[in-house]
Amino acid sequence: MANRKKSRPVPNRLLQQERERQNWTQLRLATEIGTTPFNVSRWERGLTSPGPYFRGKLCTVFRKRPEELGLLRFTTDEPEDAVEDRTDPLLGAAALPVVYDSSIPSVSTATSGLVGRADLLQRLTHTLLTQRGALALSGLPGVGKTALAVALARDRQVQASFHEGVLWAGLGNRPNLVGLLGHWGSLLGIPAHEMMKLTRVEEWAMALRDIIGVRRMLLIIDDAWSIEAALACKVGGPNSIYVLTTRFPELAYQFAQEQAMAVHELSAADGIAFLAQLAPEITARETEDTRELVESVGGLPLALTLIGKYLQTQLYSGQPRRLQTALSRLRSANERLQLEAPQAPAEHSPSLPSGTPISLKAVIQVSDQQLSQQAQHALRSLAAFPAKPNTFSEEAALAVCAAPVEVLDELFSAGLLESSMPGRYTLHQTIADYAKLHGTDATSEECLIAYFVSYVEAYSRGYDYGVFTLESNNILAALQSACNRQMNAELIRGINAFAPFLAATGHYSVAETHLQQARSAALQSGDKHGLAEIWFHLGRLAENRGEHTHAELAYQQGLALARKIGRRDLMSAILAHWGELIVNSGDYPRAEHYLLEGLDLAREFDDKLRMSVLMKNLGEVSDCKGNYELGDSYYQQGLALARETGNREILSALLQNLGVKARRRGEQDLASKFYQEGIKWAREIGHRQRLSALLMNMGVLALQQQQFDEAERLFLESLDLARKIGHPLRISAVLQNLGMLEGMRHTYKRAEVYLQESLDLAYRIENRWLISEALSQWGELYLQQQRLDEARQAFDEALTIARNMKAVELIGITLHGLARVSAARGNYVDARRYGQESQARYTYVDHQKAAEIQAWLASLPIP
C-alpha cells in the first residue's frame, strides 16, 4: 500500500480570531457548543476539523457563515474529529514470560490513600475490565492519582484479566523515555545485543510493540506532563490497555477521550478517616483540631499524609507539650506547605529532582515553574479569592488579575485552576496557600475590592438578592480586605449595599461584624452620610434579632444624623422601618405618625420603592386598629408600586398580608393564591424570613381545613428556616401555631412545650401582639382540658394587653375565649355578654368568626 503523504496542519486563524473577539476562553466556547476545550484547541491548530454537527453549532453561536469561520477548506469526506494516527495493529509476537514491573510502588504507599476511594476504584476497575483503549486520571498534585494506579495494578481481578503482565513508567516533567522504554524492553526479554542497537524512542516503540504483539497487558503511565511523552509509551498491541495519570485535565482527555476521569480531594469525613489511619491516637482525642486540619488542606491526601506522619513523630516523644506545639505550628499555611518527608529511591516522585524530599511546596512548585510569568502573576492574584469550595466568575477573575482570558486557559491547562461550572472557577486551598506564600499583589486586592463593591452596589438597588448567592463569599472577602487595608470609603459603601442581603438570608452575626467595622471606619473618616446609613442597617439587624431597645437606639441615632445632614431619602427609609418596629410593640398611634411622615418624604422624591414599604406598614397599623378597609387600600396601593418597581421582597410581604385577610374572610382559595405567589418571589430572591412567614400562613390555611399532617409539615419547614436565621419573631409565631395544632390533636403536653417557648420569646422581644395571642392559645389549651380557672386567667391577661393596644381582632379572640369559659361554668349571662361583644368586634373587622359566634350564641340556653 502506498504511503499517504501527510501535509503540515494549517491553523484556523479565522475561528481563533472570532473566539478571541468574543473574549471567550477555549473552555467557554467548548461549553457553549457542547464539546471539550481539547477539541476546540485541535480545530484552531488545524489538527482536526469539526464535523457537520459542530460546524453548525459554531455558525449558530458566532452568527457567521462557514467560510467566515474557515470551515469550508476541509474536505467533506474527512471524518469528524479525525486523528492522525491510523496505524494497523500488529498481529503477533513471540512467547513471553508473565511480567509484573518491579518499579510499581509498594502496596504500603497506596494503602491509606484508598480511604474514600471505594466507589471510584470500583468504577475504574469496571472500566478496565470491560472497555478497550485507555483510561486517564487527572487531578491536583497530591490528590492520590498514583495511589489509585498502584491499587489497580495490585488488584487481583485486574491482574487476572491482564494475565500476561503489568508495566509501569513514571514520566515526570523531564522523562528519560529511552531509559524507561529500555527498562520495559529488559523486562520483556529483548536480548542485550538487540537493545544496544535501539537508540531512539521510535526504534524502541517499534521493538516493544513487536514483542508485545497481541498479548493482554496493562501499561501504566504515571505522572505524564506532555501528550508526546505519554504517546511514546503507547507501545502495546491491540489487546493492551493503558492507564495514564496526570495533573493536567486536557492531557488526560487527549489521551483517553471519554474515559478520562477526574480524581477529586477527599470529603471532610473521609479526610478525618484518612488522618486517623496515620495518627489514630491524635485524631481520637483532638477531634476539633483534626477537622480543622483536614479543612485547612482541602482534604488533599498528600497534605494529610505529611501532617499525619509529622504528628505521629511528635507523639512518639510522649510529651503533650510537643504535640500541642505541633498542632499550633500546623495552623500556619506556610508551615503546612514546608512539611516534608524523605522518599525511598524506588518510590520517588518522577517530577521531583532525585533526593528531594516530598512536600506540598515542592509538588506544586514544579507546576508553577512551567507557567509563563504572566500566568504566575495571575495565580498569585487569584489567591485573593476565598479558596475552594468557593467559586468566582471569569469576569471577576480577569478584573482581579488584569490579564487576558488566555492566561486563565494556561492556568486551567496546568491543572492549577479548576473549572466549577460554565464561566466560573475555583482554586484549591493548597494552591491558594502556595500562591499566597509568594505574596499577593496589593493591586490585586484593590481590584478585588473595587470590583465587588461596584458589583454589590449595582445589584442591591433592585433588591435582587438571588445574584448574591454565588458571590457572597467573594463580597465578604472584599469587605474584609477593605477593612484590613483601611480602604474606609469602599468598606462603608460595600456593607451598606450588602447588609440587606445578609439580613434577608439570616446572616446576622456576619452583618454585625462588618457593620461595626464600617461604623468605626465612618467615625474615623468623618463620613456622616455613610454613618447614618450604617445606623439604619444596625437598626434593621437588631429588629430582626428581636432586640427592641437596640433597634430603637440605632434608628434614633440614624434619624437624628440624617436630619442633620439633610438626607431626606434616608429619613424616609428609617421612619419606614422604625414605624414597623413600633407596630410590633403595639404602639399604633406613634407608629402611624412615623410612617405617615416617612410617606410624605418618599412622595417628595417619588420614591416608589420606599412608598411600597410604607404602604405595607401603614396597612398593618390599620389592620391592628381594626380599620380593615383602610388597610386593604394601603395594601393594594403598595402592591401596585411593588409590582411596578419589581421589589420582590415587599411584593411577597404584601401578598402574605392580603392572603391573611382573605383567609380571615373565609376566602381560602384566594388566600392560597396570594401565598403561593408570595412564596414564589421569596424563594426567587432567597429571602428566608419572608419564606418562613409565608409557609407558616400556608400551614394555618391547612389547619383550618383540618389537614393536620400538611399543616405540621409546613409549620416545621417554617420553624426550621426561622431557627436557622435566628429570627425570634418568626420562631415565636410558628411555635404558637404548632401549639394550636397539637391542642387540636389533644396532644396537650407537646402543645404546652410549643406554647411556652412561644410565649417566652414573645416576652423577650416585647411583642405585645404575640404575647396576647400566645396567652389566648394557652387559654384555649386549658379550656380543652376543662382547667377553667387557668383558662380564665390566661384569657384575662390576653384581654388586658389587647385592650391597651386597642387591637380589635385580639379583643374579639379573648372575649370569645371568656364567653366559652363562662358557658362551661354554667354562667350563661356572662357567656352571652362576652360572646356578643366578641361577635361585634369580629363583625367590625369582617372576620368569618362572626358567623360562627352568632351560631354559638343561638345554641346557648335561654335564661
Q: Give pLDDT, residue 350.
A: 83
- Does some domain include residue 22? yes
- Based on the fold, state whether residues 852 and 711 are members of the same structural domain: yes
b (16+ CB within 10 A) / e for 162-185: bebbbbbbbbbbebebeebbbbbb
419, containing H or E segment = strand 418-421
pLDDT at 531: 98
Cell numbers describing residue 243 = 492507564
The DSSP code for 386 is: P
Q: Which of 72-86, 174-188, 680-694, 789-803 is predicted least confidently?
A: 72-86
What is d(CA 623, CA 629) in angstroms, rounded to the nearest whole number?
A: 8
User: What CATH number is attached to the domain comprising 428?
Assistant: 1.10.10.10
Average pLDDT over residues 39-54: 79
Within a domain: 93: no
Q: Which amino acid is at 445?
A: E
Q: What CATH number did the domain enclosing 62 receive?
A: 1.10.260.40
Q: In angstroms, rounded to a whole number, what is the distance separating the alpha carbons of residues 26 and 537?
A: 44
Span 11-42, pLDDT tens digits = 899 999 999 999 888 888 988 887 767 678 87
Q: Helix or strand or coil: residue 825?
A: coil
Q: Among 211, 227, 257, which residue's Cα sits nearest to residue 39? A: 257
| Section 384-398 average pLDDT | 95
Per-residue pLDDT at 7: 62
Lowest mean pLDDT of 138-152, 351-365, 599-613, 717-731, name the range.
351-365
In a domain, 311, yes or no: yes
Distance of CA 418 to the CA centre of its chain: 16
Domain-located, residue 410: yes
Biggest CA-to-CA distance, the chain = 127
Domain boundary residue among 245, 262, 279? 262
Closest alpha carbon to 368 in 229, 173, 122, 230: 173
Q: Is there a single domain that holds both residue 123 and residue 250?
A: yes
For residues 685 and 819, state if they share a domain: yes
Q: What is the pLDDT of residues 257-308, one digit of tens each?
A: 999 999 999 999 999 999 888 888 777 776 788 889 999 999 999 999 999 8
| Residue-wise pLDDT tens digits, 233-245 | 999 988 999 999 9
Same domain, 49 and 148: no
Tell me the three state secondary structure of residue 8.
coil
Q: What's the CA angle centered on 498, arms 494 and 500, to 5 degrees?
A: 145
Q: How many domains does the chain have?
A: 7
d(CA 854, CA 812): 13
Quick check: 498 and 415 in contact, CB under 8 A?
A: no
CATH of the domain at 578: 1.25.40.10
For the residues of 760-789, what is the DSSP string, one character each? Answer: HHHHHTT-HHHHHHHHHHHHHHHHHTT-HH
Strand partners, 100: 166
Collapsing DSSP to helix, strand or coil, 89 comes out as coil
Give pLDDT, residue 43: 87
Instruction: Report whether the peptide linkage leading into residue 389 is cis, meaning its omega lies within 30 degrees of zero.
Output: yes
| In-domain check, residue 241 | yes
Q: How far is CA 463 from CA 277, 493, 501, 686, in A?
A: 49, 16, 8, 11
Question: Looking at 284, 314, 347, which one is the last position of a domain?
Answer: 347
Split at pLDDT 50, 70, 90, the class of 4 is very low
Burial-class residue 669 by CB neighbours within 10 Å (0-12, 13-18, 19+): exposed
Residues 6+ apart with CB under 8 A from 554: 535, 536, 538, 539, 542
- What does the alpha-carbon distance between residue 413 and residue 501 come to, in Å, rounded to a whole number? 36
Same-domain status, 150 and 170? yes
Same domain (yes/no): 303, 247? no
Q: Are residues 704 and 845 in the same domain?
A: yes
Residue 657 placed within a domain: no
Confidence of residue 469 (pLDDT cuts 50, 70, 90): confident
Q: Are 769 and 807 in contact (CB under 8 A)?
A: yes
CA angle 254, 176, 83 (to 5 degrees): 25
- What per-residue confidence (pLDDT) applies to 179? 92
Q: What is the pLDDT of residues 812-846, one digit of tens each?
A: 999 999 999 999 999 999 999 999 999 998 888 77
Give the C-alpha separation, 88 to 528, whole Å.
Answer: 80
CA 556 to CA 71: how far, in whole Å? 69
Angle at 691 between CA 686 and CA 696, to 5 degrees: 165
Please report the pLDDT score of residue 463 as a whole number. 60
Residue type present at position 812 = G
Cell of 763: 416576652
SS3 200: coil
Contacts of 599 (CB under 8 A, 6+ apart): 572, 611, 614, 615, 618
Q: What is the pLDDT of residue 194?
A: 82
Higher pLDDT, residue 564 or 87: 564
Residue 830 shares a structural domain with residue 747: yes
Residues 823 and 843 in one domain: yes
With bands split at pLDDT 50, 70 and 90, how would you rate the model's confidence at 76?
very low
Kindly state whether residues 399 and 420 are assigned to the same domain: yes
Residue 791 within a domain: yes
Q: Does 95 have pLDDT greater than 60?
A: no
Within this chain, do residues 486 and 548 fall inside the same structural domain, yes or no? Answer: yes
Most confident of 193-202, 295-304, 313-322, 456-465: 295-304
Average pLDDT, the chain: 89
**What is the reported pLDDT for 789?**
95
Q: Which of 595, 611, 646 is the last residue of a domain?
A: 646
d(CA 150, CA 110): 7
For 339, the domain range is: 268-347
> Is 399 among the domain residues?
yes
CA distances in angstroms from 16 to 19, 175, 366, listed in the order given: 5, 32, 30
| Alpha-carbon separation of residue 617 from 506, 632, 734 (angstroms) | 21, 12, 21
| CATH code for the domain of 168 | 3.40.50.300
Element (H, E) at 822: helix 808-824
Q: Looking at the structure, do residues 588 and 485 belong to the same domain, yes or no?
A: no
pLDDT at 390 over 70: yes
